Amino acid sequence: MRSFFKSAGFKVLLAFLAFLIGIMIYAVTKGGYAVSGESFINTITKPFRSVSNNISMKIESSLDKMNNADKYYEENQELKKQISELNKQLAEYDALKEEAEELKKFVTIKEEHEDYVIPAPCKVLGYTTNDPFMSFTINKGSADGILPDCPVVTAENLIGITTEVSEHMSTVETILSPDLSIAAVCASSTGDYGIVEGSVASALEGRTRLVHLPKDNQLKKGDLMVTTGTSGLFPKGYALGTVESIGYEETGLSMYAELEPGIDITRLSSVFVITDFSGKKDYSDED
Amino acid sequence: MRIKTTREKRIFYIKGILRWTLYYVLIFFSFIIMTSGTWTKPILLIPIAMCIAAENNRYGAVVTAAICGFLIDTACGRLFGYNAVLLTIFSILISLLFELYLKHKFVNYILLTSAVSYIQCRLDYRFYYQIWGYEGVEKIFTSVLLKAWVYTVISAVFIYLIFKLINRFLMPRTHLTIEEAITKIQTK
């Protein structure tokens, strides 16, 4: 052992280790952009990850259906009633036409919000391994005009924000993460407001949390919370989720509500990234 | 010194190239598995890096461990280079332990792989979750990371068997020359 530490080989290994630490430090200084080595890995493995993830998602989906058939049947019945009351168009939703529907919604968003700059729909390549907050990668990056801190949405719901952008791929942090804080207001007449901020316990159940709610709030189960747009980071009026339950914070000074996102964040196939919108603030200089 | 024939040399090179190609094919597929689906998955690249470190040339093993580390960083969304540094250090240690103190036995391999993946799991928890003080953060360790560690240890058994099979056919065997054999007998 002692001879090893004195050998030239040990010095070579130390130099290699220093080189790796150098890469790591360099990666820290990139501020949201992937280093070229990571971009290279992403570019090479992108098609394989896409195919493999499709297969895996189908298997998961089939197993999930088999395991929870009864539970899903009940949920389905309940949701059907709710959907038909709220929006008859959603009742016609067909899983087989999912991609075509997304494209239609893309056109709708563009028509309704002329100020939005949205690249073509982004495909979800895969979820980050063992991440309880369900961050995922999409198949578009800086080459498509995507920057760090761009809001990621579906037609009706806010999904999260881009955090790390490489040339052809980006990582998205979801609203389940405690690292993301979004000002939210109740879409109904009560006008109650709070901050949507994920928590560990909620994220493990696929939910997020509305915190800093005033004690005298009038929220009730089923109320829809939407973005306020005051931060300039997210556009106004995007759905964040519906209230599932309300409780007191540990301090007893304010209340919190469990929010059920309007879309299953663990089963996304495509999303949109809004690269610009009126009222957007640029935080890059402050970073 | 043992003199190798041209044919022996060629077989040695071909076997070496084939062996390393198979290693990298395994690494590639493990990475693809790790990035697919939303279920909790084993960090397959740790037992692979440890298997390579235990049986192969130290420098090749260290470089491979660094590559495996970079792939884990990409798959798990970690700081690029973080796991590469960790696996490089572990790879040097494992290589030294097997060279100087341990026999190439399954028990040794599985114990070391379990220890290495547990340390990686604890450090991951410490630096990516616990340090930020999320409420109920210990749930991440018990519900996600510990589960992933158990899966990694279980998968290490199968990875060991695959590597055993590859090495059985493609690992060059060390032969003694007549002179070496005589010297060995005389020293006994």
Q: Maximum CA pair distance of chain B? A: 68
Which residue type is seen at A282?
A: D
Q: Between these two residues, A171 and A107, which has the higher pLDDT value?
A: A171
First-to-final CA distance of chain A = 47
| Host H or E run for residue A184 | strand A181-186
Q: Which residues of B touch A265 (CB under 8 A)?
A: none
Q: What is the percent of chain A where pLDDT is above 70?
A: 93
Given CB atoms, is B135 within the 8 Å cutoff of chain A? yes
- Long-range (24+ apart) CB contacts under 8 A made by A192-198 are A192/A217, A192/A218, A192/A219, A192/A223, A193/A228, A194/A225, A194/A256, A194/A257, A196/A225, A196/A240, A196/A241, A196/A259, A198/A133, A198/A174
- Which one of B35, B43, B58 has the shortest CB-CB distance to A126? B35
**What pLDDT sits at residue B73?**
92
| Host H or E run for residue A124 | strand A122-127
Given CB atoms, is B58 within the 8 Å cutoff of chain A? yes
Which residue type is seen at A1?
A: M
User: Got the DSSP string for A148-167?
Assistant: TT-EEE-SSBEEEEEEEE-S
Given CB atoms, is B38 within the 8 Å cutoff of chain A? yes
A14-23, A97-106, A170-179, B137-146: least confident range = A97-106
Q: Measured between CA atoms, how close is B49 to chain A, in angstroms?
A: 16
CB contact under 8 A, A130 and B37: no
Residue B188, pLDDT above cutoff 70: no
Query: Using one digit for the tens of pLDDT, what is the confidence trace for A227-286?
Result: 988 888 888 888 899 999 998 887 878 899 999 998 888 888 889 899 888 777 776 655
Query: Using one digit for the tens of pLDDT, what is the confidence trace for A114-166?
Result: 777 787 788 888 899 989 999 999 999 989 889 899 999 987 889 999 998 98
Residue A90, pLDDT above cutoff 60: no
CB contact under 8 A, B40 and A48: no
- What is the rounded average pLDDT for all residues in chain A? 83
Residue matched to tokens 């005009």:
A145
Q: Which residues of A touch B65 (CB under 8 A)?
A: none
ipTM of the prediction: 0.76
Given CB atoms, is A16 within the 8 Å cutoff of chain B? yes
**What pLDDT sits at residue A190?**
74
CB contact under 8 A, A34 and B66: no
User: Which of A39, A129, A135, A267 to probe by mutation at the B interface, max B CB count within 10 Å?
Assistant: A129
- Which one of B36, B77, B148 has the shortest CB-CB distance to A53? B36
Q: Which of residues 143-182 of A touch B (CB under 8 A)?
A: 164, 171, 178-179
User: Which of A1, A6, A20 to probe by mutation at the B interface, max B CB count within 10 Å?
Assistant: A20
pLDDT grade for A26, boundaries at 50, 70 and 90: confident
Give the C-alpha separation, A100 to A91, whole Å: 16
Residue A273: CA atoms inside 13 Å, Cβ hemisphere, count?
A: 29
| Host H or E run for residue A225 | strand A224-227
**What pLDDT sits at residue A155?**
79
